[in-house]
Structure 1
């Protein structure tokens, strides 16, 4: 299996409306991209759609099993570590930051850049 080239875009949805219908507000979703071994956590908040690595750097639990809060943070279900969906930083600096991915809304759809 080959690793995708850097900055490769993947079309996730045909429109913002389709993304909003498929992604419940504040409920993280696990996403697998062809060619990537690691899952991605996709979250829609009132502000935007965000994508971060799915495994928590603390002990590896899937962040897509957690929740998102009104501060645009994803909360790990195991130990409630909170990570900024914008920067990937853990709010109390207790562990390493999450890898973040760019989600771009275009007229022809919603794209994820990996």
Structure 2
């Protein structure tokens, strides 16, 4: 796994991605949705598994889900599961808060 620093501090991340919001990041050729909930930051692949809309255009809720703006499909930010099992899971990526910033773990390139 390759760890990529995305913000120099948790405070910088909170300023860039307000609570209940999401932001698209492009890292190593991947579009990632970084979501901010009451319990912290989470990362999932940005394309909704249902029809491909950008999840970063959606919002988050109190259940730690990101809500797609097109059809309101909800994906759990830890497991990636869609709440009603209507489509495949969203790909998730680990997020770590470290002393020197916020990091996302991505698969190593072959």
Q: TM-score normalized by structure 1? A: 0.90
Are residues 1:62 and 2:58 paired? no
**How many residue pairs align between the two structures?**
106
- Cα shift at 1:22: 1.3
Q: Do structure 1's residue 89 and structure 2's residue 81 form an aligned pair? A: yes
Deviations 1:64-106 (A, max 9, x none): 1111111110001111100001110000000000100000001
The partner residue of 1:9 within 3, 14, 19 is: 3
1:26 aligned residue: 20
SS, match of residue 94 in structure 2: strand
Structure 2 stretches of 5 or more lacking a match? none
Name the structure where strand makes up a greater proportion of residues: 2
List, as ranges, runs of 4+ consecutive aligned residues in structure 1 with deviation greater than 6 Å. none
Root-mean-square deviation over aligned CA pairs: 0.8
How many Å separate the matches in 2 of 1:91 and 1:113? Answer: 24
Give the TM-score, by structure 2 length.
0.93
Report the equivalent of 2:37.
45
Q: How far apart are the structure 1 equivalents of 2:72 and 2:12?
A: 30
